[in-house]
Structure 1
Amino acid sequence: MTPPSRPIRIHGLADALAAAAAAGALGLPLTLVAGGYGGALWLLGIAAAVERQCPGVAVTAVLDCGDRAGEAQGALAAGIRHTLFTGPPETAVRLAAIAAGHGATLLTALPPALDPRGIRNREAACRAWLSSQDA
């Protein structure tokens, strides 16, 4: 998987649904990135809810595990298809092999993401972000 050019960082279902509404209005796929604080099952639940409520939007959910290899391995075992790991390269190589065994992808970098936390009109912010010229 090529890292997406316009990811959106989410902190809950409201962020994800705002991003999905924006992507749907623009006819674009959507990459949602979540920190590990919610966990793999939380992110899988968010992605499933978005797919149910916005069935026309292609959603890629990425769990950002930072440099926590154990969390990345647990996320892969839980069924996360795209995991971000920013730890040591030698660990990333081993995790990438584990990911491949699960039919998943390990990313080691992402471009900057929009973080809609604290933005009053999240959908408008997401729409502007997704439709920007360098998207």
Structure 2
Amino acid sequence: MTPSPLSRPILVRSLGDALAAAAAAASAGVGLALMAPPAGGALWLLGLMERARQAHPGLEVTGLLDCGDRAGEAQGALTAGVPHLLFTGHPEAVKRLAVIAGNGGATLLTACPQSLDLAAYRSEGRGSHRPALLEALCRDWLTGGEG
């Protein structure tokens, strides 16, 4: 059984990150969960998902938006069509958002799954101009390595 892409999301901060992750997933024959940081926003994430699908037709691509404790942002993301949200706010807000998510076919997470953060490699100067390196890191992560 193939694991869910949500079990190994990749935190992306640019179109280049998303395309490297998509190329890695396509070459490995696995699905991809692009995770947007709190500042990313729903429409930005949905746009990255679409670009990844255009670059690799047939690739299973989903998205996870980190909304932190911002219930309004989470509700807006659900309305926009983000398939998976991370919300760490008040338990009463979690209950309400879970109902909205369930009614719309979305998933609400309250704990962040372990993810590959490509920024860690950029901060060391190892990935900012080397897409092949980012793709290799993503492929390793997606196929069970630690990235």
TM above 0.5:
yes
Shift of 1:3: 8.0
Tell me how far apart the structure 2 counterparts of residues 102 and 34 of structure 1 sit (CA, whole Å). Answer: 20
- Matching of residue 15 in structure 1 with residue 17 in structure 2: yes
Tell me how far apart the structure 2 counterparts of residues 17 and 95 of structure 1 sit (CA, whole Å). Answer: 30
Tell me how far apart the structure 1 counterparts of residues 58 and 83 of structure 2 sit (CA, whole Å). Answer: 20
Work out the number of aligned pairs and report it: 133
Query: Per-residue CA shift, 1:10-36, capped at 9, x if unaligned?
Result: 101111110111111110011110023
Tell me how far apart the structure 2 counterparts of residues 3 and 49 of structure 1 sit (CA, whole Å). Answer: 17
Q: Which moved more, 1:100-109 or 1:57-66?
A: 100-109
Tell me how far apart the structure 2 counterparts of residues 49 and 78 of structure 1 sit (CA, whole Å). Answer: 17
Partner residue, 1:132: 144
Partner residue, 1:46: 48
> Which amino acid is 1:128 matched to?
D
Shift of 1:106: 1.2
Partner residue, 1:58: 60
Secondary structure of 1:4's aligned partner: helix
Partner residue, 1:92: 94
Shift of 1:90: 2.2
Which residues of structure 2 form unaligned runs of 5+?
128-132
Tell me how far apart the structure 1 counterparts of residues 93 and 13 of structure 2 sit (CA, whole Å). Answer: 27
Q: Which moved more, 1:84-93 or 1:22-31?
A: 84-93
> Which amino acid is 1:60 matched to?
T
Equivalent pair of 1:3/1:110 in contact (CA under 8 Å): no
